[in-house]
Amino acid sequence: MHDRRYPVFTLRSIVVLSVSVLVFGSLGGCGGGDGHPPRVPVEVEVTYNGAPVEGAHVTFAPVGESQSAFGTTGPNGKALLSTFGENDGALPGSYQVGVRKTQIADPASMAPDDTGAMPMGDSAQRPTEFREELPSKYASPSHSGLEATVTEGAGKNTFRFELTD
């Protein structure tokens, strides 16, 4: 005879309990569920003197209290912005935009020697110098003159920035 002070678990009750835990546990992921405010998909396109710019770092700096969004352009000059996760878009609001592309001024100083070893001694101690590939006026969001307003309900927000000298 079994003692009635302890519950009896049958296979059916274990299955029902397991399914309930899975269903209700997954509901926390609905509606974004990542704990961050909703974002809007944003695509940017950057051209310089009419040509697409590959490898440009684009920064959307919010006007007021919000979160910045970032992206790096591909070969076609286009990028999808990211705020909290990869390509998750930007929060709705007004932004000042910065665009910057840099290259190592002396790539040979960063290259391994014939044996595959990295530079040693004085050459390893030199700070790496970078060269701006775009006019410096576009680098800082607060001084570039570039602006964007991300809006909800419009699907993907698309912005084109045509940079010139």
Q: CA neighbours within 13 Å on the CB side: how many for 21?
A: 6
Q: What is the pLDDT of residue 87?
A: 97
Report the 3 state secondary structure along 10-41: CHHHHHHHHHHHHHHHHHHHHHHCCCCCCCEC
Q: pLDDT (tens digit, 0 to 9) for every residue of the chain, 165 residues total? A: 555 555 555 555 555 545 444 444 433 333 356 899 999 999 999 999 999 999 999 999 999 999 999 999 999 999 999 999 999 999 999 999 999 999 887 655 555 666 666 666 655 555 668 889 999 999 999 999 999 999 998 789 999 999 999
State whether residue 109 is helix, strand or coil: helix
In 18-156, DSSP assigns E strands to 42-48, 51-52, 57-62, 69-72, 78-80, 93-100, 102-104, 130-132, 146-150
State whether residue 123 is helix, strand or coil: helix
Q: CA neighbours within 13 Å on the CB side: how many for 69?
A: 30
Q: What is the pLDDT of residue 104?
A: 80
> What residue spans define the domains of the chain?
38-163
Query: pTM of whole model > 0.85?
Result: no
Task: Read off φ and ψ for residue 37, nearest 5 degrees.
Answer: -60, 155
For the domain with range 38-163, which CATH number is right: 3.40.50.10190, 2.40.50.140, 2.60.40.1120, 1.10.10.10? 2.60.40.1120
